[in-house]
Amino acid sequence: MSAISGFTFDTADVNGQQIAFACGGAGPPVLLLHGFPQTHVMWHAVAPLLAAHFTVIAPDLRGYGASSKPHGTENYTFREMAKDQTALMKHLGFETFDLVGHDRGARVAHRLALDAPEAVQTLCLMDIVPTHLLLNDLTRRVAQAYYHWFFLAQPAPFPETMIAHDPDAYYQSCLLGWGAAQLCDFAPAALAAYQTAWRDPDTIRGMCEDYRAALAYDFDHDTVDLHRRITCPALVMWGADGAMGQVYDVPGTWADRLTDITPVPVTGGHFFVDQHPDETATSLLSFLRTYNFEG
């Protein structure tokens, strides 16, 4: 059984990892990648709506949820996480697919589209600006709102020890800290699933390693690829009331990295998928159906 209604839950041994995933629906494949500090359960209200038209796969990223949590910062780059996902989709019989990511999942999706463009039919990035831009042109407002990037990236075991003192208090502060969210915006069952995951010391470690890798490896990977543009159709969504939407022209930050952008602001903050799943699903379906059911 899966925490997503009507979906099955399974694991696959791919890319040297065990990746847990939920799967449901029928039709063209869509891969949904969650962000920090959540799991695949963040799609619980959106995935069933997409599954009326698509085969929907929602995995836990490595380091998160029920997926593997290897040791070593080098194992948490967006490149390695992206390899997990292309391998998972091939394991399920899908050579090409539509790709949707929120937060860290969107950063994995961006890297996947750079490293395996032949696999990605369309790309949706939710509530992020490019990693390289955020770090290279860091502003005071972003540093204050996104301080967790630099806290979590500190050498082990400092952040792990601090977080383990009260995981619920820390991670709930993250859910509420990036604009326009209240704890009641998160469905009780979903919040319980997140709590179960983030109370695991290995998950705490894995999520810290994710952020360490961004500074230690991902920035350099993105520096090499600054000249490259992703050519598949891309939907850029952001929370109109969230930190990114308040500080940046979000689609404008992608103008030199994506060639075909559909910009869509969504009501709410960073976690608009939880806050407004129907609006999120409507925008996603409109975009995805354009490229899957033409004529």
From 98, 270, 274, 276, active-site residue: 270
**Residues 287-291, mean pLDDT to the nearest whole number:** 96
Residue 2 within a domain: no
71 as an active site residue: the answer is no
Q: Is 63 left (phi over 0), alpha (psi -120 to 50) or beta?
A: left
Q: What is the DSSP letter of 231?
A: -
The token pair that represents 269 in the structure block? 């903050």
Q: In whole angstroms, what is the distance from residue 168 CA to residue 177 CA? A: 14
Rg for the chain, CA atoms, rounded: 17
103 as an active site residue: the answer is yes
Residue 284 within a domain: yes
**Residues 100-110, mean pLDDT to the nearest whole number:** 98
CB 122 within 8 A of CB 287: yes
* pTM tops 0.95, yes or no: yes
The token pair that represents 207 in the structure block? 């999520």
pLDDT at 223 over 90: yes
CB 20 within 8 A of CB 10: yes
pLDDT at 65 over 90: yes
pLDDT at 221 over 50: yes
How many structural domains comprise the chain? 1
pLDDT band, residue 1 (cuts 50/70/90): low
Residue 89 within a domain: yes
pLDDT at 207 over 70: yes
pLDDT at 67 over 70: yes
The token pair that represents 45 in the structure block? 């209200």
pLDDT at 33 over 70: yes
Percent of the residues in the chain that have a pLDDT greater than 90, as a whole number: 96
Largest CA distance in the chain: 56
Q: What is the DSSP letter of 129?
A: -
Residue 3 within a domain: no
CB 69 within 8 A of CB 137: no
**Residues 227-233, mean pLDDT to the nearest whole number:** 97
pLDDT tens figures, 140-155: 999 999 999 999 999 9
**Residues 121-135, mean pLDDT to the nearest whole number:** 98
pLDDT band, residue 178 (cuts 50/70/90): confident
Domain CATH number, residue 105? 3.40.50.1820
Percent of the residues in the chain that have a pLDDT greater than 70, as a whole number: 99
pLDDT at 256 over 60: yes
pLDDT at 295 over 50: no
Element spanning 217, H or E: none
Domain that holds residue 127: 8-292
- pLDDT confidence of residue 181: 85
- 3-class DSSP state for residue 29? strand
Residue 180 within a domain: yes
Q: Which residue has the tokens 């009507």?
A: 6
**Residues 18-35, mean pLDDT to the nearest whole number:** 98
Residue 1 within a domain: no
- pLDDT confidence of residue 180: 74
Residue 96 within a domain: yes
